[in-house]
Structures are given as structure tokens and as C-alpha cells.
Amino acid sequence: MSDVKARFGRPLRLALVGGGPASWIGRMHRSAALLDGWWELVGGVFSGDPVRSRTAGAELGFAPERCYPDVGAMIAAETAREDGADAVAIMSPNDTHYPAAAAALDAGLDVIGDKPVSHDFAQACDLVERTRRKGRLFAVVHGYSAYPMTRYARWLVKDGAIGEPRFVQVEYLQGSNATRVEDGPSNRRLEWLFDPARSGLALVMSAIGCHAQHLASVTIGRQVARVSAEVGALVPGRRVVDHVSALLEFEGGARGTFTATNAAAGAENDVRLRVVGERGLIEWWHREPSYLRLAMQGEPLRVVGRGDPYLPGEVIAGGRSPRGHPEGMLQGFANIYGEVAQERMARSLGDPVPDFLYPRIEEAAHTMAFIEACLASHKSGGWATVAALPAS
């Protein structure tokens, strides 16, 4: 794919939904899209307030005529332009993800969406159907699964290096909501975040738990089949869910444990994954994201580093600097943006399309089914089956 951009003749054009000047996730998306030169940012909708959207877009350096008051106006204008957007990136409040994505797909645009992609599983299934019917690409920015070492973990499992997976442990601990931040000074973000009608079925799952579930599932190449979950709030009196713990059963019989909370005092994006196979285990920790621990039964522990020359080519390609130079979330996001661009360009040119690993809408729909199963399990006090996508 080294010459696909030269033959395509230009970067792809990307319009943004959300991600104003003060948004850290907006900076992440914009920087990642531009990092490797696959995309050109052309404009967008930068606030739910039409006036603020125009001023925020101007502050970010976009042409005034491409700073739009709402998604409908943006799509109408961009699809009418000869140099209009090829895709839409969505990083706005959770309750806007589904309608923005549906509108973009219906207009023939590809989508790179933040999570959660929808309010519930039914809406996620609808996005899957629209994506397939329109022949579009729909990527979801589960950045942790795009780190070189988590992709190497995925490669090792698929290659059979540790044998058949038997047990998976995944956790995501964060401390952003360890105190009653909802009782402090209000702002636009807190207003929607702590409104259960806007933030999603379970806030902690929409915010971070979805990343943990996705990472576990794609690493072993199996979806979750059943869950037995406890869902609630660690902070007394809180209206939204800040903690989920669950026992897991994956397709094929592997078992697992899942923990996600953003109410863990002192924790800061502590993501951990351990996969135990019949012959050994692999372990990855977000605090040391460039390293993977591989422990085979009866053998010394190995620590594999990003950039090691013997790694598979597709794993090495996910990094940009030699071993020992830190890389992280920005580069993971950029891997997703780059792979979507390469697939879109290859399709346009009639080239064979490699099997890119970026997260897709089908995986996000499984996450929504997983969340609903956790809630159902907690309500019933027993195991709940995770719904499957309808047959295509």
C-alpha cells in the first residue's frame, strides 16, 4: 500500500462533528488524522450551539463557510461541493453519535466514530445495516486495540503461540469520577455526562468499559456469549453507573473477568489485559504500552518491545519510532485513521484491500449488546446471553 496515496492523488477530506477548541478528544482526533498525511481537515460542526459552532471553527482555523450550524447543514453543503468531505469523524456528546452517523452514511460518507456508537443495540444494528447497504466504511476509535503491542497479542493468539485461550482478565480503572464531580461547578460537558438520558445506558461503559470489552474480544478473536454482571455506583447517591464487574463466557468456552470503573480514587487510565492459554499467557499494561509480557509454561519470562526487529511486519508498521521512544494513544488513533484511508483509497482505485485491523461498526454493535446483557444480568441476578447481530 506504499504508493496508494500517490496514485489516489490527494489526502482524503474529513469533516468533524464535535471536538471544539477546549475538547481534548477533539485534539486527539484532529492530530491523529493529520499525523501521517492521509487526511485533510476541511470543516465541521464544533458545538451544539450554531453561533458557538461558527466561532469555535474559526478559532480552530477553518474557513468560515465550512463552519456549520448543525450536522444537516454540513452534510448538505459538503456533498454539494466538488471538493466536499469524503468522511465524517464524530466526537460529540454521546446522544448525538447515532443520528450524526446515520445521516452521514445515508449521504454516502464514510464514518469514523467515537464510542458509544449509539444509545442501544437496536440503533447499532441499524448503523451496521446502513453501512453495508451503502457500501461505506465505519471505523470506531478503540485506540487501545491499535497499539502495536496489543496487536501483537492478537497476532500471538491467532498464531497459536499460547495455545487455545482458556481465561481472559481485563480491567479499566480510572479516577475521574471518584468524587461527586456532578455536585461541583457545572459546565456543558458535565451537564450531558451525568444526564442518564444523554450519556448512555451505563456511563462507565460508554466512557471506558467499552474499550476494555473490545480489547478482550478482539485479542482472542471471540465475542462474549454470556455475562454475569454487577452494575451500579461506587459513589453514594450517584444517578449514573460508575462501576461494572462481570464474569464472562466467550464463544468457544473461554472464561473471563471484566472490571470497569471511573470511580477508583488514585487510578488514571489503568488498562490491563491478561490472556491465559493452554501453554502460556500474555499480559499488557497501559502504563507500559510499548511492552508485552509473554510467559510460557516452564520457560523464562520474555518482555517483547515495540520495534523489535523480529516482530511481524504489520505490528512493526503500527509504530513510528525505535524501541524505547514512547508512543501511545495518539499513534493508536492515527493507525485507525491511516487504515481507513488506505482502504478507502484502495477501493476507489480497484486495488486488492488488505485485511486491516481497525475496529469496525460490527464490533461496536457487539459492545452495545454486551452492555445490554450486563444490565439484564444485574436485573435478573443471573447469567444473560449477549445478543448476536442479525444475519446480513
Indicate which CATH number applies to the domain containing 16. Answer: 3.40.50.720
Judge whether 332 lies within some domain: no
Residues 117 and 168 in one domain: no
Residues 45 and 152 in one domain: no
The three cell numbers locating residue 31: 492530530
pLDDT of residue 392: 73
Compute the distance between CA of residue 374 and CA of residue 202 in angstroms, rounded to an integer: 10
Q: Which among 285, 171, 197, 194 has a CA at the least distance from the CA of 242? A: 194
Residues 134 and 151 in one domain: no
Residues 212 and 134 in one domain: no
Residues 232 and 375 in one domain: yes
Q: What's the number of domains the chain is made of?
A: 2
Domain hosting residue 115, numbered range: 4-143
Backbone angles phi, psi at 352, to 5 degrees: -60, 145
- Report CA dihedral (239, 244, 250, 256) to the nearest 10 degrees: 180
Judge whether 386 lies within some domain: no
Judge whether 126 lies within some domain: yes
Residues 18 and 117 in one domain: yes
Residues 133 and 164 in one domain: no
Judge whether 129 lies within some domain: yes
Judge whether 338 lies within some domain: no
User: Which pLDDT tens digits describe the chain residue by residue (392 residues)?
Assistant: 679 999 999 999 999 999 999 999 999 999 999 999 999 999 999 999 999 999 999 999 999 999 999 999 999 999 999 999 999 999 999 999 999 999 999 999 999 999 999 999 999 999 999 999 999 999 999 999 999 999 999 999 999 999 999 999 999 999 999 999 988 887 888 888 888 888 888 999 999 999 999 999 999 999 999 999 999 999 999 989 999 999 999 999 999 999 999 999 999 999 999 999 999 999 999 999 999 999 999 999 999 999 899 999 999 999 999 888 989 999 999 999 999 999 999 999 999 999 999 999 999 999 999 999 999 999 999 999 999 998 87
Residues 115 and 173 in one domain: no
pLDDT of residue 1: 65
Compute the distance between CA of residue 156 and CA of residue 144 in angstroms, rounded to an integer: 17
- What residues does 264 pair with on adjacent strands? none
Question: How long, in residues, is the chain?
Answer: 392
Domain stop point among 113, 143, 173: 143
Indicate which CATH number applies to the domain containing 301. Answer: 3.30.360.10
Judge whether 84 lies within some domain: yes
Q: Give the orientation angle of helix 210-220 with respect to helix 148-159, to 10 degrees.
A: 40
Residues 69 and 163 in one domain: no
Residues 126 and 192 in one domain: no
Judge whether 347 lies within some domain: no
Domain stop point among 86, 113, 143: 143
Judge whether 342 lies within some domain: no
Maximum alpha-carbon separation in the chain: 65
Residues 121 and 267 in one domain: no
Domain stop point among 143, 163, 190: 143
Residues 299 and 171 in one domain: yes
Q: Which among 256, 226, 257 has a CA at the least distance from the CA of 244? A: 257
pLDDT of residue 192: 83
The three cell numbers locating residue 318: 503500527
Compute the distance between CA of residue 257 and CA of residue 247 in angstroms, rounded to an integer: 5
